[in-house]
Amino acid sequence: MPDDALLTSLLAAVHSSPDDVPLRLHVAELLAERDRLPEALSQVTHALTRAPGDPGAVALLQRLTAAIARPVEPPPAPSTDGFDWQQAESQVEDVPVPEFAHEPHPDPVTEDVERPTLRLADVGGMEHVKQRLELALLGPLRHPEMAKAFGTSSSGGLLLYGPPGCGKTFIARAVAGEMGAAFYEVGISDVLDMYTGSSERNLSAVFDAARRNAPCVLFFDEVDALGQKRSHLTHSSSMRNTVNTLLAELDAGRNEGVFVLGATNHPWDVDSALRRPGRFDRMLLVLPPDAPARAAVLRHHMRGRPVDGVDVERIVRATEHFSGADLAHLCATATERALADSVRTGTLRPIGRADFDAALREVRPSTGPWFATARNVVAFANTDGSYDDLAAHLKQNRRL
- CATH assignment at residue 327: 1.10.8.60
> Does 177 share its domain with 262?
yes
For residue 269, CA distances in Å to 100, 161, 200, 283, 386 come to 45, 12, 20, 14, 13
User: 11: Cβ–Cβ under 8 A, 6 or more apart, which residues?
Assistant: 27
> Does 14 share its domain with 49?
yes
> Does 158 share its domain with 305?
no
- Out of 120-124, 183-187, 271-275, 386-390, pick the least confident: 120-124
> Does 149 share its domain with 247?
yes
Query: Residue 217 in 3-state DSSP?
Result: strand
Eight-state DSSP code of residue 76: P
Residue finishing a domain among 285, 314, 331: 285
- Residue 222 scores a pLDDT above 70: yes
| pLDDT, mean of residues 348-372 | 94
- pTM value is 0.68
* Residue 114 domain-assigned (yes or no): no
Q: What is the domain extent for residue 37? A: 3-69
Q: How many domains does the chain have?
A: 3
> Does 128 share its domain with 261?
yes
CATH number at residue 145: 3.40.50.300
> Does 50 share its domain with 163?
no
pLDDT in tens, 368-391: 999 999 999 999 989 888 899 999
pLDDT in tens, 82-139: 667 677 777 666 666 555 544 544 444 455 678 888 888 888 878 888 888 888 778 8
| pLDDT, mean of residues 322-346 | 94
> Does 201 share its domain with 346?
no
